[in-house]
Amino acid sequence: MPTLRDVGEIEAIRLLHQAVLGRADVVVGPGDDAAVLRCDASEDLVATTDALVEGRHYLPLWLNPAARGARLAAVNLSDLAAMAARPRWALLSIGARPEHEMDALVEFQRGLETALAKEGATIAGGNLVAVDGEEWWSLTLLGSVARGRAWTRAGARPGDLLALTGHPGRAAAGLALARRAGAPDAVDPKWRPLLEAWLEPRARTAFAQALAPAEAVTAAIDVSDGLAADLAHLCDASGMGCDVDAWSLPEDPLLGRAAGTLGLAVTPLRLGPSDDYELLLAVDPRSRDAAERAARESGTPLAFLGRFTGRRGELALLAVDGARTPLDPRGFDHFAGAR
Ligand SMILES: [Mg+2]
């Protein structure tokens, strides 16, 4: 297996470029000093960046090169979904050791490009440097949105509905089960969907794109820290509070069984730290139907969990009997053994 050292930098870059497809909105692609991208005058450009660092964000044992590429795409795609942007162009920067196998590098890029292409984006350029220590993989993703129509974290109003895609807590459960098992083949196959939520998240791009034209969303954030923490970020930016109906959290029997196996309570697992890459939205109550329609069209589970209030910074969990418990994001560190 030839390594980066055997192949040399110039040939390595040529091999990586060769795998990238051309596109009309990429006027100058990989291979020149910079990429030239063609924007539409009626749109705003939306940019985000995120990196994976070896040992810190991924363990080679759990993620093969293609899956690592797909994961890097997903974390960036999720940020663009939270802004209602259409993903378009990516710049990839890699810090790899000279002994990195060239085939593994090409595999990584293939996984990344495939995941980007599913949502309409392509690699438009990049950079490759040699490192001695931990390897890293950094992606800058650019997208576009109709001028002035990007969703932001600010903008929720009292009475707006709190909506949530998918099943938060699954990524945290997958990670906890993986830590307990120690190796991929030691994990009971019945936990597969939870492991996938952790290792292979899929951004809610299709849902965001289906919902964007309805102008139903007043504020949005993607769940990368955990439901309670990200809801607190959104409330903070909007200057709002939020009442969450505990009984409205979507049913998730598999997560419930995993919580039992892990000796954890299920509610902290669902509200606490978990990088699920789901979307939390503030929705105008008059547009609830539009949100439900976008969810159906894109095959996305969507739940309405409560409503925003003018009580700035006050997050509360409401029980069926009307009891209110303050919802403190710091109180859900399930690895501290909280129940
Ligand atoms: Mg985000």
CA nearest neighbour of 77 among 110, 116, 114: 116
Between the alpha carbon of residue 276 and those of residues 45, 56, 150, 224, 269, the distances in Å are 25, 17, 22, 6, 12
CA of 50 to the centre of ligand 1 (A): 10
How many angstroms separate the alpha carbon of residue 77 from the centre of ligand 1?
Answer: 10
pLDDT of 249-291, one tens digit each? 988 999 999 999 999 999 889 999 999 999 999 999 999 999 9
The model's pTM is 0.92
**How far away, in angstroms, is 295 Cα from ligand 1 center?**
20
Phi/psi of residue 278, nearest 5 degrees: -90, 175
Tell me, in angstroms, the distance from the centre of ligand 1 to residue 220's CA. Answer: 9
Q: State mean pLDDT over 282-311.
A: 98
Six-digit token pair at 215? 């102008």
* Ligand 1 centroid to residue 221 C-alpha, Å: 6
Q: Compute, in angstroms, the gap from residue 222 CA to the centroid of ligand 1.
A: 5
- pLDDT per position as a tens digit, 176-225: 999 999 989 999 999 999 999 999 999 999 999 999 999 999 999 999 99
